[in-house]
Amino acid sequence: TTLKLIFSIFRFFSLSLRTKLSPSVRAAAVNMSTLLVNRPQYSWLRELGLGEDNDGVYNGCWGGQGQVVTSYCPANNEPIARVRQATMAEYEETVQKAQDAWKVWADVPAPKRGEIVRQIGDALRGKIKALGSLVSLEMGKIYVEGVGEVQEYVDVCDYAVGLSRMIGGPILPSERPGHALIEQWNPVGLVGIITAFNFPVAVYGWNNAIALICGNVCLWKGAPTTPLTSVAVTRIVAEVLERNHLPGAICSMTCGGADIGTAMAKDERVGLLSFTGSTQVGKQVAMMVQERFGRQLLELGGNNAIIVFEDADLNLVVPSAVFASVGTAGQRCTTTRRLMLHESVHDDVVERIAKAYKQIRIGDPWDPNTLYGPLHTKQAVQQYLAAIDQAKQQGGTLVCGGKVMDRPGNYVEPTIITGLPHDAPIVHTETFVPILYVLKFKTEDEAFAWNNEVKQGLSSSIFTKDMGRVFRWLGPKGSDCGIVNVNIPTSGAEIGGAFGGEKHTGGGRESGSDSWKQYMRRSTCTINYSKDLPLAQGIKFE
């Protein structure tokens, strides 16, 4: 009914244009009318400051003289609105303005910086529904996940406010009389933040809030396919800075593609580059940053496993595995891609999960009843089909799913595949789609080894009631991942802990715990307040 109404309005509008306007004006008007931002049901986009054409550069002033890109809705592949990206000249101007802004921001006491971050969190709260809807519309994740993602930014702001009164180093005992030995932590200066399409708000928030209270300024390049979210978030943050008479360039933004990302990686003025994306691109970024001996924070791929032992509570296992494998249509870096089942429960669990898959409510991501939306791009659909073909060729059996859905947008069926060897090439390949590979194991040692044999090391989880096994899993011979869970899914991390992984996941840590240290540089300081000059280690030099 809604679609019929939309088409009726569009048809009426088009007919009116044909009868009243000249051909050239008519063509331009029809093109404008096809943008979702101009349709009444998407009028809330205007609340976020978005229009047909949007500036993709912010450095205290809005601009954008580069390529014009159109953002599309993955649920129907219709155009939402356009963004003008940054030129290299605008990138250079923005970095210079950010450096000037840092001179102001670094002099603001940390608790006062925390107050600004608190205001950013409150401003996000005021726009949480509209911004969550935009994430759903532009990225494709369901509405509750879109709102939840904005909530993560809000939560990190709250966390950072408290942290702004706590960061600092210890006073250490000096072996020399009349001397003090302290650690001083200072900001790195300019933090470059490159984020991915799957979390276009939260990952920026993790970096931005912590970097700000540490005394840094930020330069953000969001994913080229979610530019409207980058613009909308930056507008909210910019209003807070401007209201407090602070330079807007404290939180700068340059929308763009690989050219801007490469410039950030090679730019010695970028004190820390935080990159979230694929392992393949992350490796290239790491090499460019390392070549200039820069500092990097990498959040890359994950090939995450849930291990289910014979004593597991299957009433916890089934919803956990379904949420972790199907949530965000398999496009989380923490998505469960491998489900390892003890041979005694294998068949039962597969049957239960397959039944649950068939009950998943698929639909428009902004419909509150929908649990599963589209893939982000048409290219992802092709990757999904290619992975299924490879799995079949390597001995896999399709339990459910495996097809592209016959409806508008980038919808595919959530898929379960059994029968593959644990070391099959496709099992060891992270494909960013909703395909779950189910493996059968016999022993604990076998399961732990399979968990660790992939190149990535992001998230992992076991389901068991055996406390000895729990602590073996958490210990040195257990999981080698950065996130090691028990009786919960691999996805859905809280902001209070450090988020990140090992090996090809990149080694970076964001958000909670002591992740703030990555955004600062440490100096060991010795102060002589005596009238003597004793040397360390008792050395005499007279």
Nearest-angstrom CA–CA distance, 179 and 175: 8
Nearest-angstrom CA–CA distance, 505 and 512: 18
Q: Which of 215, 207, 200 is nearest to 159 (CA)?
A: 207
pLDDT of residue 542: 85
Amino acid code (one letter) for 535: L
pLDDT of residue 12: 38
pLDDT tens across 170-207, in order?
999 999 999 999 999 999 999 999 999 999 999 999 99
Nearest-angstrom CA–CA distance, 151 and 204: 13
Q: Which of 470, 422, 510, 492 is nearest to 195 (CA)?
A: 510
Average pLDDT, the chain: 94
Find all residues with CB under 8 Å of 397, minimum gap 6, and list them. 417, 418, 419
Q: Which of 93, 145, 152, 299 is catalytic?
A: 299
Nearest-angstrom CA–CA distance, 329 and 156: 25
pLDDT of residue 458: 98
pLDDT beyond 70 at 33: no
Nearest-angstrom CA–CA distance, 415 and 353: 11
φ, ψ dihedrals at 324, nearest 5° = -75, -25
The two beta strands, 272-276 and 295-299, are parallel
Amino acid code (one letter) for 381: V
pLDDT higher at 9 or 395: 395
Nearest-angstrom CA–CA distance, 433 and 413: 10
Mean pLDDT for the stretch of residues 113-136: 98
Secondary structure (DSSP) of 57-107: EESSSEE--S-EEEEEETTTTEEEEEEEPPPHHHHHHHHHHHHHHHHHHTT
Nearest-angstrom CA–CA distance, 458 and 328: 17
Indicate the SS3 state at residue 169.
coil
Q: Which of 514, 480, 506, 483 is nearest to 297 (CA)?
A: 506
Query: 541: buried, middle or exposed (CB in 10 Å: 19+, 13-18, 0-12)?
Result: exposed
Place of tokens 């809807």: 133
The two beta strands, 217-221 and 190-194, are parallel
Nearest-angstrom CA–CA distance, 232 and 80: 13
Whether 78 is a known active-site residue: answer no
pLDDT beyond 90 at 147: yes
pLDDT tens across 239-298, in order?
999 999 999 999 999 999 999 999 999 999 999 999 999 999 999 999 999 999 999 999
Q: Which of 209, 231, 118 is nearest to 156 (CA)?
A: 209
pLDDT higher at 10 or 53: 53
Find all residues with CB under 8 Å of 406, minimum gap 6, and list them. none
Amino acid code (one letter) for 539: I
Indicate the SS3 state at residue 419.
coil
Mean pLDDT for the stretch of residues 22-41: 65
**Quick one: tokens of 260?**
């801007």
Nearest-angstrom CA–CA distance, 511 and 28: 45
pLDDT of residue 31: 53
Q: Please provide the size of the chain in residues.
A: 542
φ, ψ dihedrals at 128, nearest 5° = -65, -35
pLDDT tens across 295-319, in order?
999 999 999 999 999 999 999 999 9
For the chain, what percent of residues have pLDDT higher than 70?
Answer: 94
Give the global pTM: 0.93
pLDDT beyond 90 at 512: yes
Mean pLDDT for the stretch of residues 475-485: 98
pLDDT beyond 50 at 2: no
Nearest-angstrom CA–CA distance, 338 and 52: 42
Instruction: State how far Cα 481 lies from the chain centre.
Output: 18
**Quick one: tokens of 376?**
């982000």
Nearest-angstrom CA–CA distance, 223 and 219: 13
φ, ψ dihedrals at 424, nearest 5° = -60, 140
φ, ψ dihedrals at 141, nearest 5° = -75, 160
pLDDT of residue 24: 42
Q: How far is CA 428 from CA 346, 391, 463, 489, in A?
A: 20, 11, 22, 20
Strands, DSSP E only, in 255-315?
A: 272-276, 295-299, 304-308
